Amino acid sequence: MKKILLAGAALGFAMSSAQAEIVIATAGPMTGQYASFGEQMKTGAEQAVADINAAGGVNGEMLKLEIGDDACDPKQAVAVANQFAGSGVVFVAGHFCSGSSIPASAVYADEGIIQISPASTNPAFTDERPNGADGGSYRVCGRDDQQGETAAAYLLKNFADKKIAFVHDKTAYGKGLADATMASFEAGGGKPAMYEAYTAGEKDYSALVSKMKQEGIDVLYVGGYHTEAGLMARQMKEQGMSTVLVSGDALVTDEYWAITGDAGEGTLMTFSPDPTKIPAAAEVVKALQDAGKTTEGYVMYTYAAIQAYVQAVTAAGSTDYDAVREALNSGDFKTVLGDLTFDEKGDVSLPGYVFYKWHDGKYAEVE
């Protein structure tokens, strides 16, 4: 009997210890051609969890982090979302690709899991989120229609008399960004010289490049990711073109220059104001740099998504889905991206987009 009682006590202790963990996750392309972005998200999530746990956790409980690899594939994203639900995950900082975040959000809505994407910019992610104003999906990044307006204004101002081509990779992100930019460009009086789709994952875009050369394209706007954009930049230079490549936030990785080499010189891209230069991020940036870890791209955005969730849980006093959702809807959150709030759609109040330029292997904000 004593052994049974001791065993029961041990089981009870184990159960209480298990209950003293809040299981959260991040999900993105941990493998595949966009894995550099998954690494950014993983780095930000791990640092946030370590810092929060070191400070005592959340409402007396420690955070436990799970990592999901969706490879930016919609079907795999849904599988990851279901896996998280089965593992007791209550919050996901993810996904990266809009084409993954959007289908995964339906699973999270059904399972009562809060989702804050650090990187999914397609307007439909929040415009059409499950349960509308009562939904539990949010983002701490901007939207493609905002990004498109910024890009179009720059194109109209700086390349008014140039032939501009718009191309996209057919994904929710790439097509959405190219279409939003071109729509704003046309609304401002611009006339696109070309509009084409390409297939992501290929190694040879010389046919597209040759067509642009024949048309005398001066500026190429790419709605897509760094892997394909980098190849286009390189292949344009190989064909003797001096076309300026312009794109969006999916070029914020050093891998872009690794692909292009000197052909990437002068590439322009839109991204949010440099998060590593925000005073609120200084301590985290230093810790990551001291550890030899990356601070680029979406590291800080993933960190901030977890900060917002944790502050909402603290305000709600629990991880209850509806209570946390209400806290997110009404709260003002202090993060490494600065103070932020969410609107009725789940979009963030942070500043929009600025331009960056690649020079000598690095990118910096255009003054």
Query: So what's the pLDDT on residue 20?
Result: 76
The CATH number that domain 145-271 falls under is 3.40.50.2300
Domains 2-142+277-340 and 145-271 share a fold: yes
Cα dihedral 218, 224, 228, 234, rounded to 10, equals: 20
Superfamily of domain 2-142+277-340: Response regulator (3.40.50.2300)
What mean pLDDT, rounded, does the chain reach? 94
Q: How far apart (Å, rounded) are the C-alpha atoms in residues 295 and 289?
A: 7
Residue type (1 letter), 348 = V
pLDDT in tens, 220-266: 999 999 999 999 999 999 999 999 999 999 999 999 999 999 999 99
Query: So what's the pLDDT on residue 11?
Result: 39
Share of the chain above pLDDT 90, in %: 93
Q: How far apart (Å, rounded) are the C-alpha atoms in residues 222 and 237?
A: 16
pLDDT at position 104 over 80: yes
pLDDT greater at residue 20 or residue 277: 277
At 352, is the pLDDT very low, low, confident or very high (cuts 50, 70, 90)? Answer: confident
The strand pair at 219-223 and 268-271 is best described as unpaired
181: nearest Cα among 153, 207, 206: 153
Contact indicator for 313, 59 with CB cutoff of 8 Å: yes
Which tokens sit at 79? Answer: 């599988």
Q: Give the DSSP H or E segment for 365.
A: strand 362-365
Query: So what's the pLDDT on residue 85?
Result: 98
Query: So what's the pLDDT on residue 68?
Result: 98
Q: Which residue has the tokens 């005398």?
A: 216
User: How is the chain split into domains, by residue range?
Assistant: 2-142+277-340, 145-271
pTM score, two decimals?
Answer: 0.90
User: Positive or negative, the Cα torsion across 76, 79, 81, 83?
Assistant: negative
